[in-house]
Amino acid sequence: MPMPVQRTEISGLLKRWSAGDTLARDQLIPLVYDRLRELAHQRRLQLGPAHSLNTTALVHETYLRLADAAHIDLVDRAHFLALAGHVMRNLLVDHARARSAGKRGGGAAPVELEEALWVSEDVLDNVEELDGALARLKKLNPRQSEMLEHRYFGGLTLKETAAVLAVSLATVKRELRSARAWLALELQGEPLR
């Protein structure tokens, strides 16, 4: 039975990759590939069967975008997952926009974020609408927007989100409650009850 990969090994490879070592990047990807597939699969489930970008394609396209980046500054696994989640979000938004442009808005796939029923299925019309709402939140409160992105697109835990943003766990919990309420209100267009 293979030994589990130590977080320190991943962190070491991430630091070497950040320093420009492409061999470290190539060694890292097989170690985190399963986690990236899991993350991509979760994002795909949110989009439903109408979305034609499959899990493997999403992981591979994410890897290509990361590998093509001129400079990446990755401290640890949580930072890597946050970045990968951000890249996946951008890929899904780009893909949804391309599909919508071809259909002029018809057939947009609904998105369902799986955490704690804070936004109903009916609220999320499509990934573009969610992206627009997150962009508006970023103008109002960049940190809360980043927290939502890390949690739901990056798949980070509350502790990992706190570490990436260098804030306390209590701050993450408090600001996520506020951000979720704002996002639900923004996407529904009516006050919360």
Residue 63, token pair as written in the block: 């890897």
DSSP readout, 13-54? HHHHHHTT-HHHHHHHHHHHHHHHHHHHHHHHHHH-TT----
Has residue 73 been placed in a domain?
yes
Given a cut of 50, is residue 66 above it in pLDDT? yes
Tally of domains within the chain? 1
Rounded to whole angstroms, what are the CA distances from 72 to 6, 11, 80, 119? 21, 13, 9, 33
The per-residue pLDDT for 22 is: 82
HEC secondary structure over 136-155: HHHHHCHHHHHHHHHHHHCC
Has residue 2 been placed in a domain?
no
Considering only residues 151 and 49, tell me which one the structure prediction assigns the higher pLDDT: 151
Has residue 1 been placed in a domain?
no
Q: pLDDT digit string (tens) for 35-61?
A: 888 888 877 776 655 556 678 888 888
pTM beyond cutoff 0.85: no
Unique residue bearing structure tokens 């509350």: 158
Has residue 61 been placed in a domain?
yes
Has residue 151 been placed in a domain?
yes
The 10 Å Cβ neighbour count of residue 29 is 16
Q: What is the mean pLDDT of the chain?
A: 76
Has residue 181 been placed in a domain?
yes
- Domain of residue 99 covers 7-188
Given a cut of 50, is residue 11 above it in pLDDT? yes
Cβ–Cβ under 8 Å, residues 85 and 149: yes
Span 138-161, average pLDDT: 87
Rounded Cα–Cα distance for residues 83 and 78 (Å): 9
Has residue 137 been placed in a domain?
yes
Rounded Cα–Cα distance for residues 155 and 33 (Å): 14
- Residue from 178, 121, 123, 126 nearest 148 by CA: 178
Rounded Cα–Cα distance for residues 84 and 100 (Å): 24
Span 123-147, average pLDDT: 80
- Residue from 28, 110, 109, 130 nearest 74 by CA: 28
Unique residue bearing structure tokens 């798949």: 155
Has residue 115 been placed in a domain?
yes
Given a cut of 80, is residue 126 above it in pLDDT? no
